[in-house]
Structure formats: C-alpha cells, structure tokens
C-alpha cells in the first residue's frame, strides 16, 4: 500500500535542491539546483511505501542526509522550513525504526501518527514552493 501524505510532498518539494558550500546560503545555487534536477530527486521517485520498511528507511535516511546538508546552506528566509522538514524526516525514521518490519499495518500507522504530529510540515512545504516560484 502506498501512503500518500501531504507531508510527504514536503519532502518531494525539496527533492530538487542540491548542496552548497556557502555558509550564508545562496538563492542562486538553490535556484540552479532546481533547474538541474539534482539533490534527492531519485529518492522518492516511486513514492514512500512504509510497508516495505527496509526500502522506506533507506529512502528516509538518504533524504535526512540531503536535508541536513541543506539546513546549513539554505538562505535564511527558508532555513527554518528546511529545519521543519529535517525534524519530520527524522521523526519518520525514528517511528519506522521502532516498528516490527513484519507488521505493515503498524508501519502505516506509525507514518500516519508521525505525520499528524507534524502539522507544520505542509505549511513549510507550501512556503518552500512559493519561495522557489518567486525567487527562481
């Protein structure tokens, strides 16, 4: 079963961002990354299926690394939103790690509960999307 969550769109929203070495963050670099399809575009290409716990954890770990790198290089106007997404992805990782891989219903419930506990993720996703539309 595929979980389609608005909060997972937040992660997908950032799938095109790439990393930068600029400590202050760079709108230009993030906009360039949006154009080249870099970042973790392939991570969630087929969605996130929490019932396939091993694959979902692999995807989330990859996303967590990418988001962690973005957190320190994102321009200040969106850095907080990236932090919100980092927290959400980390919470998903923690929730799925605690679930028995042989219990798909528990995995789906864990993702749904975690998503419900992070209502600010959709707002951050929307802000990121609007930022990209106006800044790039």
Q: Residue 135 pLDDT more than 50?
A: yes
pTM above 0.85, yes or no: no
C-alpha–C-alpha distance, residues 27 and 40, integer Å:
18
What are the tokens at 112? 């749904």
Q: Residue 84 pLDDT more than 80?
A: yes
Contact (CB, 8 A) for 115 and 7 = yes
Contact (CB, 8 A) for 104 and 49 = no
Q: What is the DSSP letter of 39?
A: S
Residue 132, pLDDT score: 77
* Residue 44: Cβ within 10 Å count: 18
Contact (CB, 8 A) for 110 and 99 = yes
Per-residue pLDDT tens over the stretch 33-70:
555 444 444 566 678 899 999 999 999 998 888 777 77
């Amino acid at each position: 079963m595929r979980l389609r969550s608005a909060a997972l769109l937040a992660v997908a929203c950032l799938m095109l961002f790439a990393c930068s070495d600029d400590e202050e963050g760079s709108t230009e670099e993030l906009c360039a990354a949006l154009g080249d399809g870099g970042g973790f575009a392939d991570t969630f290409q087929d969605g996130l299926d929490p019932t396939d716990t091993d694959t979902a954890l692999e995807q989330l770990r990859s996303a967590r690394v990418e988001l962690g790198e973005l957190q320190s290089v994102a321009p200040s106007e969106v850095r907080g939103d990236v932090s919100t997404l980092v927290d959400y992805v980390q919470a998903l990782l923690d929730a799925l790690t605690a679930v028995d891989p042989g219990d798909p219903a528990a995995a789906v419930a864990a993702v749904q509960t975690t998503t419900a506990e992070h209502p600010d993720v959709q707002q951050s996703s929307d802000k990121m999307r609007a930022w990209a539309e106006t800044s790039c």
